[in-house]
Amino acid sequence: MKKIVFITGTRADFGKQKQIIKKSSKLKNLEVKIFCTGMHMLKKYGETHMEVDLLKNIEIFKFINQNDSDQMDHILAKTVSGLSDYISEMKPDFIVIHGDRVEALAGAIVGSLNNIKTIHIEGGEVSGTIDESIRHAVSKLSHIHLTSTTEASERLKNMGENPNSVFTIGSPDIDIMNSKELPSLTEVKNYYNINFKNYGILIYHPVTTDTKNIEKYTNILIKTLIKSKKNYVVIFPNNDPGNKIIIKKYNEILKNNRKFIVFPSMRFEYFLTLLKNSSLIIGNSSVGIRESAHYGVGSIDIGSRQNSRQRCSSVINVKYNSKKIITFINEMYSKKFKPNKLYGDGMSSAKFLELVKNNKFDKVKIQKVFFNK
């Protein structure tokens, strides 16, 4: 019997890992546990730990790693401390982390310093902000890499990672995106009291390397969307520095505007149904790069946050130019694109289980060395 600990800190990374967690928990020789922390634990963002709680027969440990005034380095330090104590008690064989958040970095640090094999999901990607630096740091500390694309796999090999530790499995959330068990649009609209017939989705995060311009850019974006006269479902930004400015603007300008409905967070499956049936998505979230493309939903990516991501023809990048943004909104609104499988075919959890069953993770050495191609 081996132990595996999945670390989740946000609604996004939980959605990525959910199917893998559920299917892994059914393996007889694998004991699955979850370390739940980060935004999940904050009331401000909807206490999304309640969604993690819905998983059956899995032990969940909850840890508050931040308060609303903490900087990213403080959050990292707290997470390392709490996770280290938990790992010392649980003594897992594997730690699974996702992406580029500080919780993932904490997991990689604790895993590497305690000789526990760390499995990193969706490494090797580029974006263009501090997230990219964190993601590559996580990859260098991790032992096993589960990537979304062959390009990401090749990038990790170019970074000196052993090819035998790199596996392309696709983006795991596509497993859920393809599910026939997603709620209907009527269910979602009734649950969240959304009365729009047609709507766009806005998800806009702060760019931590350009915090001085957040207020200016948020004002331009909000005023532009109001000017477009379309309906929008708005989801709160993540908890990166500068998020308070965005949320404040939402509360000041959008709260009483009938064309907008704002949510701190949304259940992942419900959000996917909403996305699948939306007219477009706008902002700077990676959802507008990969998930929207998989559904054939047009995406307007604003600014530099996702600058270097692999993207499909359904994604348009634009600077903070109100006239151009409105032009693209009018062009793309209700336009459907051909679904794209760049980020996977919905078989990620099956591929993960095959790696476990074939002992591929066991064969990766705990001592890392730089691999010269």
- Residue 168 CA to residue 214 CA, distance in Å, equals 35
Instruction: Report, in this order, helix, strand and coil percent for the chain, each rounded to 5.
Output: 45, 15, 40
pLDDT of residue 77: 98
Q: Is 28 exposed, middle or buried (0-12, 13-18, 19+ CB in 10 A)?
A: exposed
- A 10 A CB-CB count for 74 gives 14
- Residue 369 CA to residue 122 CA, distance in Å, equals 21
Q: What is the pLDDT of residues 31-63, one digit of tens each?
A: 999 999 999 999 999 999 999 999 999 999 999
- Residue 73 CA to residue 76 CA, distance in Å, equals 5
- Checking if the pLDDT of 196 tops 90, the result is yes
Lowest-pLDDT choice from 149-163, 188-202, 334-348: 334-348
pLDDT of residue 29: 93
pLDDT of residue 68: 82
pLDDT of residue 74: 96
User: pTM score, two decimals?
Assistant: 0.92
Q: Which residues of 181-210 are buried (b: 16+ CB within 10 A; e: fewer)?
A: ebbeeeebbeeeebebeebbbbbbbbbbee
Cα–Cα nearest to 5, from 77, 93, 65? 93
Token pair, residue 370, equals 């730089």
**CA angle, 185 as apex, 181 and 186 as ends, to 5°?**
110
What domains are there in the chain, each with its CATH number?
2-178+346-363 (3.40.50.2000), 185-332 (3.40.50.2000)
Q: What is the pLDDT of residues 137-173, one digit of tens each?
A: 999 999 999 999 999 999 999 999 999 999 999 999 9
pLDDT of residue 368: 95
Q: What confidence tier does 308 reach under pLDDT thresholds 50, 70, 90?
A: confident
Average confidence (pLDDT) over 213-233:
97
**CA angle, 124 as apex, 92 and 19 as ends, to 5°?**
50
- A 10 A CB-CB count for 330 gives 11
